[in-house]
Chains A and B, each alone.
Chain A
Amino acid sequence: MLNNEQIELYNGIWQRFMDGDEEALSSIYFEFYDVLFNFGMKYSSDRFLVEDCIQNLFVDLLRNRHKQKPVTNIKFYLLKSLRNQMASERRKTKKLLPVGEPGEAEFRISYSAESSLIAIETDELRSMFLKMVTEKLTIRQKEALYLKFNCGFDYVQIAVMMQISVESARTMIYRTLKSIKETFGLECYSDLILFSLFRSFFQKAN
């Protein structure tokens, strides 16, 4: 993630773009492409769709250059625009299906290679059950936690992004964490004991 200094730098580059320097947008594009792509892949598994949406996002920025306003956080602004692009793309392709809130349709958690590696190294069982618990969350809950933990957004930004009130964002995250804690405390440890019993049984059998 970018630190505050870098965000300041890119906010300045954004200013140059607004002043008419089209080249400035290219440095923004190359700096943020991977961030945008990874973010987009959370909302769709279709690589080409994500690429298309990033493309449309930047074409729109160029087209509406004169209407752009200064931004406080360029990363937040770009991710929010990408999410809108993806929601409108989905509305176009799935016109016949009932569409809920934008972005709701397909938010996926794909566990990163790194986290599974750690799972093996540290406490294998615990992280397996943690995965089980988070898989049970709703799409909106997963999205909220992703925006908070991974993108480092605050409640105001999460609220804008998910088009809900700040209060609902706060409550949603609070409740989600609470439910994770509860399920983890109740179900998992009993399952954990069962599972380790099974394992020791099979190890003996072998």
Chain B
Amino acid sequence: MGEEFQKYTLEDFLDDANFCSWARYERSEMDGFYSKQLVKYPEQKEVFELAGELVRLFDDEKLITHPDRKLQIWRKINRVYHQDNKITKNYKLIFRYAAAIVLLFSFASLTWYFVSLTDEDDFFSSYRPQELTEMRLLLDNGDTINIQEEQAEIIYDHGGKQLIINDELVQKKKNTTNPVLNELTVPFGKQSKVVLSDLTEVWLNAGSRLIYPASFEGKNRKVKLQGEAYFKVYKDKSKPFIVETNNSSIEVLGTSFNVRAYPGEMAEETVLAEGSIRFNPGKTIFGKKLIMEPGQLVTVPNGDHSYTVSKVDVRDYTSWIDGVFVFHEESLASLLKRVSQFYNIEIVWMNDAENRKISGKLDLKDNYLQVLNALSLISNGVYSKENGKIYFRLK
């Protein structure tokens, strides 16, 4: 460059790949060069700086994905690859055993049908995550596994035959004789993620419970939920995925959505991030089925068949899976409730917190005191700690 620097136009600078990468702070060996040239030809300063700024305007946001997430996706790539690899290899075998499998399927779906019939009331009445301090996983063979970590990732690999918890392969002690369902309970203050045998990903928020089979063998994929979960359903048009809550039934083919159905709360909330879902509020057999669109929120009051539909910012409802709460004109009371569930602390607030609307973002990796400090700052409130409870007041 040297001599030419003096004559460089805006286009010349931008055409120079060395200059572009230097402007993005990528090559330190060029540092001295440009400042020396600028001292020599100060008249070039204007064009030089403009070019640099233009380059930086088009720079990436430099988003860094957490190594764990990268690893999760890499595993999924391999699972998807090996799954369809197996299908082509065993093509002939599948036909040979088709009859046997069909028999097995019908047996499994029959069992599933009866199990779901008898378990129904039992499941929705026995919700007591408050009593738990650890995550608890009940397997279909009757084994119970307690998970001590704050967060867990549970994977049902190889069509549900292999179970991996936080990267460790779990050996099942005995085999399943009569298939019962798997059940995962997450206490308040913890979170968990499950990858089901069909590659559907489920993020379970604090104080939630999910029931699902180790592998889906009926004509649909049915799970039951209490509490809050984000579902990223793997596409399989032949087997609809159904989420049942206390009060609704949600049917999807392949999509992402958030369901919030805590038994103690006034209403159930479902937010659709992408795709489309069929919604049956109140689980009535001949009731109206609602088709939801992305960005919509459906609210169903507990114990009711009515519902309301509204348009929302999906991020406000799904940010918790990234370890942040994003909220927009949300009432302080509802936010305090989310914080108390997430950290498993008791927070007492006055009625005026219902009317105080706030917007912002909380980092859940902080401890609860830091979060409460941030909340006091946004809402202009104060909190105090007495007898193990937090009292939150507005100034």
Contacts and interface: CB of A to CB of B under 8 A. Distances in A.
B316 to A, nearest CB: 15
Given A33-B65, A54-B73, A123-B49, A115 B274 contact: no
A178 B11 CA distance: 8
Nearest to A63: B81
A139 B177 CA distance: 60
B38 to A, nearest CB: 14
Interface in B103-118: none
A114 B59 contact: yes
A170 to B, nearest CB: 10
Instruction: Give the one of A26, A41, A59 with max B CB within 10 A.
Output: A59
Interface in B58-89: 58-65, 70, 73-74, 76-78, 80-81, 84
A149 B23 CA distance: 9
A177 B20 contact: no
Interface string B114-132: 0000000000000000000
Given A109-B58, A177-B14, A51 B73 contact: yes
The prevalent SS among residues of B at the interface is: helix
A93 to B, nearest CB: 8
Contact of B274 (A29, A46, A148): A46
B64 to A, nearest CB: 6
Contacts of A110: 61
B62 A38 contact: yes
B278 to A, nearest CB: 18
Interface in B343-370: none
Contacts of B256: 48
B11 A174 contact: yes
A34 B65 contact: yes
A186 interface: no
B150 interface: no
Nearest to A30: B70
B56 interface: yes
The prevalent SS among residues of A at the interface is: helix
Given A109-B57, A148-B14, A152-B17, A26 B74 contact: yes
B81 A59 contact: yes
Contacts of B236: none
A76 interface: no
Interface string B137-165: 00000000000000000000000000000
Interface stretch (A10-18, A67-75, A126-134): A126-134
Interface string B39-65: 000000000011001111111111111
B232 A34 contact: no
Instruction: Give the one of A112, A126, A152 with max B CB within 10 A.
Output: A112
B88 to A, nearest CB: 10
Nearest to B25: A114
A150 B65 contact: no
Nearest to B275: A93
Contacts of A184: 50
Nearest to B78: A62
Contacts of B24: 1, 149-150
Task: State the 9 A-B residue pairs at the shortest beta-carbon distance, nearest first.
Answer: A38-B60, A115-B56, A62-B81, A112-B59, A149-B58, A149-B55, A58-B77, A146-B58, A112-B61
Given A38-B62, A115-B59, A152-B20, 15 more contacts: A1-B26, A26-B74, A39-B60, A42-B60, A48-B232, A62-B77, A63-B81, A113-B62, A118-B56, A122-B53, A131-B57, A177-B10, A180-B54, A181-B10, A184-B50
26 contacts: A1-B24, A29-B77, A30-B70, A38-B60, A46-B274, A48-B256, A55-B73, A55-B76, A55-B77, A62-B77, A109-B58, A112-B56, A112-B61, A112-B62, A115-B59, A122-B49, A126-B53, A127-B53, A130-B53, A134-B58, A146-B58, A148-B14, A149-B59, A154-B17, A174-B11, A180-B54
Interface of B: 10-11, 14, 17, 20-21, 23-24, 26, 49-50, 53-65, 70, 73-74, 76-78, 80-81, 84, 232, 256, 273-274
